[in-house]
Amino acid sequence: MTLTINSISAGYDSSIILHDISVELKQGLVTALIGPNGSGKSTLLKVIAGIVKPYAGIIRLGDINVDELKGTQRAQLIAYLPQASNSLPSTTVFESILLGRKPYISFEPDSEDLAVVEDTIKIFNIEQYAFKKINELSGGEIQKVLIARAIAQRTKVLLLDEPINHLDVKNQLEIMNIVKHYTASSGLITMVVLHDINRALQFADEFILLKDGYIIERGSSEVITPHVLHEIYGIEADCITYKKKRKIIII
């Protein structure tokens, strides 16, 4: 199954943010969305999640035109995690993850919903604070819970907007490891907005580089070159290879 984004143009009110974006995402791969602030990364995720309606274009998941789906049907296929917010509700970790089952719950959660929540809590190794209030947790713990909620949605597509911002290195690695592992093992189509290019090179399989709402480059890690980084960020950078992985050094 592939997620096909075909000639999408989108924006807010009269300003166009995304211009004629076409891209195809494959199952089991993590795609990193890279670009400067205001380049349209978050808008692209919101368009796929159905939060921003595109002016033109079509999004297909396999044979399904996702724009024709009702909100709940779309939520069964696409999970979305927005950028970190300061205001969190005073709900427990269990309740927060259970909310990920909302698209499947008609009246009350059944045993399958509870089993999914249990399994997700186990995947993220957060049993010890399953019944703590989410707004009493540390930044890394909160981010784990939020991604756990998106994963509990059991969708085909996972969209994460800056999931490791403001986290320490240990938490960054832990969260990206879970995302990478879960994407591969469950055959998810995962798209992650990342500002840390080296973290993207470490965990992503595919890369899309955006600038001013246009795709500048896309492909494997080979597309991330000092020349491209200069083009989209206007910075001087160098590229080295460390343990067979490309690394970027910002000069």
Q: Among 85-93, 187-195, 206-214, 228-236, which window interacts with another protein (CB under 8 A)?
A: 85-93
Q: How far is the CB of 30 from another protein (least distance, A)?
A: 19
| Residue 51 near another protein by CB under 8 A | yes
Determine, following the binding rule CB under 8 A, whether residue 177 of this chain makes contact with another protein.
no
x-or-dash pattern for another protein, window 93-112, by CB under 8 A? -xx---xx-xx-x--x----
Q: How many other C-beta atoms lie within 10 A of the C-beta of residue 1?
A: 14
Q: Which stretch binds another protein (CB under 8 A): 45-53, 54-62, 222-230, 240-248?
A: 45-53
Kindly write out the interface string for residues 142-161 of this chain, putting x where it contacts another protein by CB under 8 A and - elsewhere: -----------x--------
Q: Contact positions toward another protein, by CB under 8 A?
A: 46, 49-51, 70-75, 78-80, 82, 85, 87-92, 94-95, 99-100, 102-103, 105, 108, 114, 118-119, 121-122, 127, 130-131, 135, 153
